[in-house]
Chain A
Amino acid sequence: MTPLVNLHILAKRFTQLSKSVYFDPAFREFSQKTVHAIQHVIENADYYPDDVIRQFENQAWRVMQFVRGSRSNDAPHETQYVLRKALKDWIKSEALLSSAALEDFIFFLNTEDIWDFISRSLNRLSDQKYKPLVVRIGSPEAFKHRPVFCIPLFHELGHFVDHYYEISKSSLLLSPIPPTPPNLPLQTWQLINLHHRMEHFADLFASCYCGEASNNSLLAIAPDNPDSPTHPSTKKRVAVVGDFLNGRANQMIELLQQASNARAKQQLTVKFALPEVDSAFNDVLTYNITNENELYGIFPASWNYLHSQLNTPTAPWIDNELTAYGVEKTVNDLVEKSIRNFEIKERWSGVPTDAN
């Protein structure tokens, strides 16, 4: 289990994983280059300090989960397609998306910057310009075909963008925190304020794409959570998003907008347009999404449709026999297919013709 022995094992493992039939070509290239870097470290073990080798090994272990997840057929494909578009609004480089299907009610997005580490630490390796953005999206496997229930992933994407630019952290430098309460260390107080600002940023980010559905999904998961060191109370979070969507002045929004402008060169703005899905969904037909604003807007629109039908069923296809499970499955299915149709049309229009 020494680092060098482990690196041999890792090289073998990356090679095995990359031979999968379903492997994404971009991840195949990523794996091959990572194997090359691992072999480089093995061959230059006398040159690099032990601590550098150990850190490289740690990163290689961590990034292996990303490579493994890229082969998964358990991802919520349609939601990931929309998330990829939202990510592109903020980060221009092409992302390698990997997924984790979880047997738990958890959502997350994380990244590994092994190639940033390689470029600054392995100076004898020639391939220094390769710096892909690798993102892993975790969501409950049970929600694979339930895009409406994957709305929390927009909140997680907000955390990802925040972390990428360090927007909330910058806000601490640009907009000082309130005076430290008595008997509380400044570091503790600063970290609590940071975590609260991070949650507000992620909420606001999600509301740019999903509007009120961001608050509604939070209220479904944590209806009355109080303030904690890591999260503001649900009541505060919902109020901040409400102020944002209704154009009301709010100090938290202003300081995060200032930091977002400084770091990401853009502010949080509403990107969705609410499509009128009722008519199509009442006829059990997919909605014809016409643009990206509606692509985002189908999440809040279908959240509203689903919950109004669960509370007061009016759609002709709902009879007394149909359970809540049947209703949510049908609506999620319609949303999934509506997004898929948009994606297919987009791909189709991007195919070059041979007319000339």
Chain B
Amino acid sequence: MIAAASSRSDRALESVLLVLRLESKNQQYPDTLKSYFRTVIQQTVDLLDRPIEVASQAMPEAVSLAVKISSDEELRELIEDILKVDNISSDQAEKALSSLEASFDPAGESAHFSKEIYATI
């Protein structure tokens, strides 16, 4: 929106969250979705390690996930662990899911910050 009016939804990670939800329930799901998820998290980890080198080829979802993870060390470790194993445990999936779903949304938050804070942007 050109001026503050309504919230901005970010659905870029919808399919990533879907996979984590399915994994947390130990459900079977299409291989195409599995391979999509693997590609996204691999690119996410690569982006965090080598952003300048990887930024031009990464999927938009990987960029979104990398940004979320870059400010959450625990989630980053979790995603890196998921990447190392062939089968995600339901516990890993559940933790990653709840962490990703609990993101702060300033559009819906009545937060007020001082002028000094904004001056640093």
Which residues of A are interface residues toward B (Cβ below 8 A)? 48-49, 51-52, 55, 106-108, 117, 119-124, 152, 155-156, 163-166, 169-170, 172-174, 177-179, 181, 184-188, 190-196, 202, 217-218, 221-222, 225, 227-233, 259, 262-263, 265
- Inter-chain contact B121/A178, CB cutoff 8 Å: yes
Our pick among B4, B22, B25, B51 for the contact of A230 (Cβ within 8 Å) is B4
- Inter-chain contact A230/B55, CB cutoff 8 Å: no
- Inter-chain contact B2/A218, CB cutoff 8 Å: yes
Interface SS majority for chain B: loop
CB within 8 Å: A-B pair count: 148
Our pick among A120, A172, A178, A195 for the contact of B36 (Cβ within 8 Å) is A120
Complex interface: chain A residues within 8 A of B27 (CB):
49, 51
Our pick among B29, B63, B64, B106 for the contact of A192 (Cβ within 8 Å) is B106
Would you list 9 pairs from A and B whose C-beta atoms are within 8 A, ordered by A residue?
A: A55-B15, A55-B18, A106-B1, A120-B30, A173-B51, A188-B106, A191-B105, A195-B8, A228-B4
User: Interface centre among A166, A195, A196, by most B CB within 10 Å?
Assistant: A166
Evaluate whether A222 and B63 lie within 8 angstroms (CB atoms) in the complex, with A173-B55, A192-B121 already known: no
Query: Cα distance A250–B78 when bound, in Å?
Result: 38
- Inter-chain contact B2/A188, CB cutoff 8 Å: no
Evaluate whether A106 and B15 lie within 8 angstroms (CB atoms) in the complex, with A51-B22, A173-B63, A194-B67 already known: no
The count of chain B contact residues (Cβ–Cβ below 8 Å) is: 50
The closest CB in chain A to the CB of B39 belongs to A120
Query: Cα distance A31–B96 when bound, in Å?
Result: 36
Our pick among B14, B28, B56, B64 for the contact of A55 (Cβ within 8 Å) is B14
Chain A proximity of B102: nearest CB distance (Å): 9
Evaluate whether A123 and B30 lie within 8 angstroms (CB atoms) in the complex, with A166-B60, A185-B104, A192-B106 already known: yes
Evaluate whether A123 and B47 lie within 8 angstroms (CB atoms) in the complex, with A107-B1, A190-B67, A221-B3 already known: no
- Inter-chain contact B117/A52, CB cutoff 8 Å: no
- Inter-chain contact A120/B33, CB cutoff 8 Å: yes
B47-69 near A? 1/0 per residue, CB < 8 Å: 11001100110001001101100
- Inter-chain contact B48/A152, CB cutoff 8 Å: no
- Inter-chain contact B51/A174, CB cutoff 8 Å: yes
The closest CB in chain A to the CB of B106 belongs to A229
Complex interface: chain A residues within 8 A of B67 (CB):
169, 172-173, 190, 194
Complex interface: chain A residues within 8 A of B48 (CB):
173
Query: Cα distance A265–B56 when bound, in Å?
Result: 8
Complex interface: chain A residues within 8 A of B101 (CB):
none
Complex interface: chain A residues within 8 A of B71 (CB):
186-187, 190
Chain B proximity of A240: nearest CB distance (Å): 11
- Inter-chain contact A117/B2, CB cutoff 8 Å: no
- Inter-chain contact A190/B70, CB cutoff 8 Å: yes
Chain B proximity of A60: nearest CB distance (Å): 14
Query: Cα distance A42–B107 when bound, in Å?
Result: 37
By Cβ-Cβ distance, the 9 closest A-B pairs, closest first, are A229-B106, A227-B118, A166-B63, A123-B30, A222-B3, A173-B51, A262-B55, A120-B36, A123-B32
Query: Cα distance A55–B55 when bound, in Å?
Result: 29
Complex interface: chain A residues within 8 A of B117 (CB):
181, 184
Complex interface: chain A residues within 8 A of B21 (CB):
51
Judge whether B84 is part of the interface by a CB distance below 8 angstroms.
Answer: no
The closest CB in chain A to the CB of B52 belongs to A174
- Inter-chain contact B56/A263, CB cutoff 8 Å: yes
Interface residues of B in 76-116 (CB under 8 A from A): 103-107, 109, 111, 113, 115-116
- Inter-chain contact B3/A225, CB cutoff 8 Å: yes
Complex interface: chain A residues within 8 A of B36 (CB):
120
Complex interface: chain B residues within 8 A of A172 (CB):
67, 70
